[in-house]
Amino acid sequence: MPIRTVMKANEAAAWAAKLAKPKVIAAFPITPSTLVPEKISEFVANGELDAEFIKVESEHSAISACVGASAAGVRTFTATASQGLALMHEVLFIAAGMRLPIVVAVGNRSLSAPINIWNDWQDSISERDTGWLQFYAENNQEALDLILIAFKVAENEKVLLPAMVGFDAFILTHTVEPVEIPDQEVVDEFLGEYEPKHAYLDPERPITQGTLAFPAHYMEARYTVWEANENAKKVIDEVFEEFEKKFGRKYRKVEEYRTEDAEIVFVTMGSLAGTVKEYVDHLREQGIKAGAAKLTVYRPFPIEEVRELAKKAKVIALLEKNVTFSVGGALFQDFSRALINEKEKPIILDFILGLGGRDVTFQNLDEVLEISRKALNGEKVDEVNWIGLRKEIL
Amino acid sequence: MAESPFKENIERVAKEYSEKMTPGAIATIPGSSVINKTGSWRVFVPEFNRDKCTRCFLCYIYCPEPAIYLDEENYPVFDYDYCKGCGICANECPVDAIVMVRETK
Ligand code: SF4
Ligand code: SF4
């Protein structure tokens, strides 16, 4: 029987790792995800998880150790956030290029300076071009589930890419919520043991990994990472389906909420999706045709699903906790790319909010609504809007 | 000159590499590094004087590439495909049987 309990997202992530039975975990503590490796080291120390826990001297070493372990052919896991993820940056490219299915739990936190330990998505959003798959959890249950899903997708032969699962700093990492811990046997059935086909250590089969590639081969190597990302789109759908059959919880790359006949659709990721769904309910009560959508999968970017969503809306309001300078937010860029050549397309508006852990309130969302309604009525509005910005202190 | 024990593999690697990309660009057959003829990086080249040589093997031992083989009479032979012109052999040679000269092509 699955255990119903309450726990923080950090603990849920550690539990997911335990259930996935990685052979190597290498991690360095950083707020807000410190509890993940702490909990895992406890599992290992208690003999509940048969794995090598490597204590390293930095995040760069943590991910490097994971690359080494994964290249040797075992399931590998780590957790980090913010500057820690940034410190992993160069190795993230290596993991993707070597096609190593490492899974990293990211407690989504802002980047310095100024130092801020609270939530936004700038850390993982900044790694969107490394080739890694990216999942974003709305709640603690999703943090657990998506890590299991991430392993399954990452290890698929058509994919073989590393994956990160983001869950919002403090809003999730340190908040206790009901979580269902699935049965080990069912997880075993779902995931199976990792059987490396391309990268493993065997003296009988000498290979060179992380090779030098001259101009004659580098481009093709990069293309295979592109292709693997494309393949992941279908594989993710299949894994979501299998997950639903085994565990009863349903996931979609783009989860829509009350989008039928919606004129304005608010699109977001992570825990903010919960707030936005509440807000949409509140608007619907007033007869306002609003809907919401949540991106559970950000890389590969779900272009087809976004196009389907766009057909239903007159205004797409993107709510983003990240900045892409002179563009707006990363989602704005991605949505523009997805829709630019469509014949009929909605107005796309970008709203930057909640940076560095600032609360996103209904009042903030009222502002978003007001701007969206103006645009709907044909009035000219800014494409990029900073919501909740305290202009008076500038 | 002694022949690389990987010769057959190397030829297969060269062929497979140009034909098929493996996931993660893994080189699946050992010896691929031998394909890359590092001798092209050279500016100086060792010039060998057989009459002075005492066959002490110091150059052979110290060459970091290793680009020095020994012939049937145990005299050093330089493999210019891989000699990178570092000059270590010339430095180590106790009787100055090797001198580095600027290579002009
Ligand atoms: S110059 Fe350097 S690389 Fe060339 S043979 Fe001498 S020691 Fe070896
Ligand atoms: S170090 Fe000089 S003397 Fe000794 S084997 Fe080499 S060339 Fe000959």
Q: Please report the pLDDT score of residue B1 as a whole number.
A: 45
Q: Using a 6 Å CB cutoff, which residues line ligand 1?
A: B 46, 63, 65, 67-68, 78, 83-89
Q: Using a 6 Å CB cutoff, which residues line ligand 2?
A: B 53-59, 76, 92-93, 95, 97-98
CA pair distance A66, A71, nearest whole angstrom: 8
Q: Which ligand approaches the C-alpha of residue B57 most closely?
A: 2
Interface test with A, best of B9, B13, B21 (most A CBs within 10 A): B21
* pLDDT tens per residue across span A128-187: 999 999 999 999 999 999 999 999 999 999 999 999 999 999 999 999 999 999 999 999
CA pair distance B54, B97, nearest whole angstrom: 9
Report, as an integer, the average pLDDT of B69-75.
94
Candidate from A207, A209, A217 with C-beta closest to B21: A217
ipTM of model: 0.83
A14 with A25: CB under 8 angstroms?
no
* pLDDT tens per residue across span B25-68: 988 776 666 777 778 889 999 999 999 999 999 999 999 988 99
Candidate from B24, B32, B36 with C-beta closest to A99: B24
Tell me the domain boundaries of chain A.
Answer: 3-247, 254-393
Indicate if the pLDDT at residue B5 is higher than 60: no
Under CATH, which number does the domain A254-393 receive? 3.40.50.920
Q: How many CB atoms lie within 10 A of CB A264?
A: 25
Interface test with A, best of B6, B26, B33, B38 (most A CBs within 10 A): B26
Q: What angle do CA A117, A364, A31 make, to 5 degrees?
A: 10
A318 with A293: CB under 8 angstroms?
no
Strand partners, B88: none
CA pair distance A144, A179, nearest whole angstrom: 8
A290 with A265: CB under 8 angstroms?
yes
Q: Please report the pLDDT score of residue A135 as a whole number.
A: 98
Task: Pick out chain A residues at pLDDT < 50.
Answer: none
Region(s) of chain B under CATH 3.30.70.20: 37-104
**What residues in A contact B23, CB-CB < 8 Å?**
99, 160, 198-199, 224
Level-2 CATH architecture, domain B37-104: 2-Layer Sandwich (3.30)
**What residues in B contact A205, CB-CB < 8 Å?**
28
Q: Please report the pLDDT score of residue B13 as a whole number.
A: 62
Q: Which ranges of chain A does DSSP label H, i.e. alpha helix?
A: 9-20, 35-45, 59-72, 82-97, 122-125, 140-154, 184-191, 215-247, 272-285, 303-312, 330-339, 362-376
The CATH T-level fold of domain A3-247 is Rossmann fold (3.40.50)
Report, as an integer, the average pLDDT of B77-88.
94
H/E stretch holding B90 reads helix B88-92
Indicate if the pLDDT at residue B6 is higher than 70: no
Return phi, psi of residue A13, to 5°.
-65, -40
- Is there a contact between B25 and A100 if contact means CB atoms under 8 Å apart? no
Q: Please report the residues numbered 323 through 362 in chain A whose beta carbons come closer than 8 angstroms to any beta carbon of chain B.
A: none
* Token pair in block for residue A9: 């997202």
Q: Which atom of ligand 1 is nearest to the CA of B86?
A: 2
Q: Please report the pLDDT score of residue A214 as a whole number.
A: 84
Nearest residue (CA) to ligand 2, atom 8: B53
